Amino acid sequence: MARYESLLDACGGTPLVGLPRLSPTVPDGAPPVRLWAKLEDRNPTGSIKDRPALFMVREAEESGHLRPGDTILEPTSGNTGISLAMVAKLRGYRLVCVMPENVSAERVQLLRMYGAEIIFSPAAGGSNQAVATAKQIATEHPDWKMLFQYGNPANARAHYETTGPELLHDLPTITHFVAGLGTTGTLMGTGRYLREKVEGIQIIAAEPRYGELVYGLRNIDEGYVPELYDPSVLDRRFSVGTRDAVLRTRQLVEVEGIFAGFSSGAILHAALAVAHEAVKAGKRADVAFVVADGGWKYLSTGAYVGTLNDAEEALDGQLWA
Amino acid sequence: MAIEVRVPTILRSYTGGAKIVEGSGGTLTALIDDLDTRHGGLKGRLLTPEGGLHRFVNIYVNDEDVRFLGSLDATLNDGDSITILPAVAGGALGFAAAAAFLGI
């Protein structure tokens, strides 16, 4: 389908493309092992977050939580804010984003372009400062609404109802699904759907491992596990460091022509690991993974060029996924 | 050969500031016990009083989450690389802000 009533109707339905050059070579006569990329950068604002943003707003409208002219408050590190800004603009809401100041300049410009207002929480202050900022805002504006993507079932439902069925339709032979782990919505929703439909499917999480600044908690008890997270949906969970994520992101564009953000490189790293295991085991595999967004918003980091050491340094302390 | 353990900033008070320490053990439980003999108190931060892995502690063996490898019973080998991280996932600051806003 190529014609839609509005931009919101054009959300989802993204292409699944094969990676013939990055898929591992199998010995003669062995079953094929293939990698497939779901290009979520083809969504209206260029990331997978358009799906949950649209579902969360629709659900809030239907339940009466959101009323015309309301202000939505979103503590976000980027893509969800951009998606919500677009949806809020088209549906008539005001959006205020609270975000750490160590996100890329492109994200800030995009948000402002879509009409969102931004309140920065200092990166150096760590989560304690963000907590203080959020508390202050909450006190001053008790009428502002939050959609809370980390615990909102509509986030996972967006993927259960759209991403999962699209994958199964386009790749009925799917054996592995690999995606990034942040709010956990993509993996929980898509993972649950595929588990119900595909016997023996492996659901694999790739979690970005940031520089130390990002883990600036005062103690372990300040940690946080998203309410949506249910480990029983997953089979494995990989932690992928900045260096591997950058290396794979560069391979994606250099070898297959896919210009993606760094979280997609981290996801590809985990996808390649399971693909190579399948080759070793002599098993057939169709490994589908998520390209969560394009690389445009990260160009200013400089991490697409130069040595890997330079790139690692450039991304240190940044929320690159 | 020993097992290399990467310690996050917030737990380095137990390792004299060291970012990487070495230990040994055939399972994660054995490794944690071994580490605690030289870095007293570390075990108490990684495990709950009931003996399970702390909810907000993630431990990775060669970059894979140990909770999917048998948790504390996961088998370890010499040369393995262990990473300990607090559970914050992506957008840590966003989480914290959101949690505070909702009063959780």
> What is the per-residue pLDDT across A60-77, written as a single tens digit (0 to 9) for each?
999 999 999 999 988 776
| pLDDT at residue B101 is higher than 60 | no
More confident residue, A106 or A248: A248
Distance CA A299, CA A122 (A): 22
Q: Could you check whether A7-42+163-310 and A50-146 share the same CATH topology? A: yes
Q: What is the pTM of this model?
A: 0.92
Residues of B with CB under 8 A from a CB of A: 8-11, 45, 54-58, 60, 63-65, 67-68, 83, 85-102
| pLDDT at residue A152 is higher than 60 | yes
Q: Which of B56, B65, B96 sits opposite A127 (nearest CB)?
A: B96
| pLDDT at residue B82 is higher than 50 | yes
pLDDT at B37: 97
| pLDDT at residue B94 is higher than 80 | no
**CATH architecture, range A7-42+163-310:** 3-Layer(aba) Sandwich (3.40)
> Mean pLDDT across the stretch A99-108?
76
* 3-state SS class at B44: helix
The number of C-beta contacts closer than 8 angstroms across A and B is 153
For A192-223, write each residue's pLDDT tens digit. Answer: 999 999 999 999 999 988 776 666 666 777 77
pLDDT at B93: 46
Q: Which of A121, A146, A148 sits opposite B93 (nearest CB)?
A: A121
Give the start-to-end residue ranges of the domains of chain B.
3-102
Pull the structure tokens for residue A10: 């054009």
Give the start-to-end residue ranges of the domains of chain A.
7-42+163-310, 50-146
Distance CA A308, CA A304 (A): 9
Tell which residue, B5, B72, B7, B16, has the closest CA to residue B39. Answer: B16
Distance CA B30, CA B76 (A): 9
> Which neighbouring-strand residues pair with B61?
B64, B82
Q: Which residue has the tokens 């063996």?
A: B61
Given pLDDT bands bounded at 50, 70 and 90, which one contains residue A97? confident
Query: How many other CB atoms are found less than 10 A from the CB of residue A276?
Result: 13
Instruction: Assess A239–B contact: CB distance below 8 Å, yes or no.
Output: yes
| Domain A50-146: CATH class, spelled out | alpha beta
The catalytic position among A49, A77, A83, A264 is: A49
> Mean pLDDT across the stretch B90-94?
47
**CATH architecture, range B3-102:** Roll (3.10)
For chain A, first and last CA: distance in Å?
30
| pLDDT at residue A139 is higher than 90 | no
pLDDT at B92: 45
Pull the structure tokens for residue B87: 């559970």
Pull the structure tokens for residue A85: 């800004």
| pLDDT at residue A225 is higher than 90 | no
Given pLDDT bands bounded at 50, 70 and 90, which one contains residue A317? low
Q: Which helix (H) or strand (E) holds B16?
A: none
Distance CA A260, CA A19 (A): 14
Pull the structure tokens for residue A193: 């759907």
Given pLDDT bands bounded at 50, 70 and 90, which one contains residue A264? very high
For A105-128, write each residue's pLDDT tens digit. Answer: 788 888 999 999 998 877 666 555
> Mean pLDDT across the stretch A30-53?
97
Is A225 in contact with B102 (Cβ distance < 8 A)? no
Q: What is the 3-state secondary structure (H, E, C) of chain A?
A: CCCCCCHHHHCCCCCEEECCCCCCCCCCCCCCEEEEEEEHHHCCCCECCHHHHHHHHHHHHHHCCCCCCCEEEEECCCHHHHHHHHHHHHHCCEEEEEEECCCCHHHHHHHHHCCCEEEEECCCCHHHHHHHHHHHHHHHCCCCEECCCCCCHHHHHHHHHHHHHHHHHHCCCCCEEEEECCCCHHHHHHHHHHHHHCCCCEEEEEEEECCHHHHCCCCHHHCCCCCCCCHHHCCEEEEEEHHHHHHHHHHHHHHHCCCECHHHHHHHHHHHHHHHHHHHHCCCEEEEEEECEECHHHHHHCCCCCCHHHHHHHHCCCCCC
Given pLDDT bands bounded at 50, 70 and 90, which one contains residue A1? low
The catalytic position among A83, A104, A121, A263 is: A263
> Is residue A61 exposed (0-12), middle (13-18) or buried (19+ Cβ within 10 Å)?
middle
Pull the structure tokens for residue A69: 């002219």
Is A127 in contact with B95 (Cβ distance < 8 A)? yes
Average pLDDT, chain B: 88
For chain B, give the longest Cα–Cα distance. 48
Q: Which residues fall within 8 angstroms of residue A135, CB to CB, at 6 or more apart?
A: B100, B101
> Mean pLDDT across the stretch B71-94?
82
pLDDT at B32: 97
pLDDT at B86: 87
Q: How many CA atoms, within 13 angstroms, populate the side-chain half-sphere of residue A98?
A: 31
> Which neighbouring-strand residues pair with A240?
A208
pLDDT at A133: 74
Q: Please, are residues A84 and A147 in contact by the beta-carbon 8 Å criterion? A: yes
For chain A, give the longest Cα–Cα distance. 67
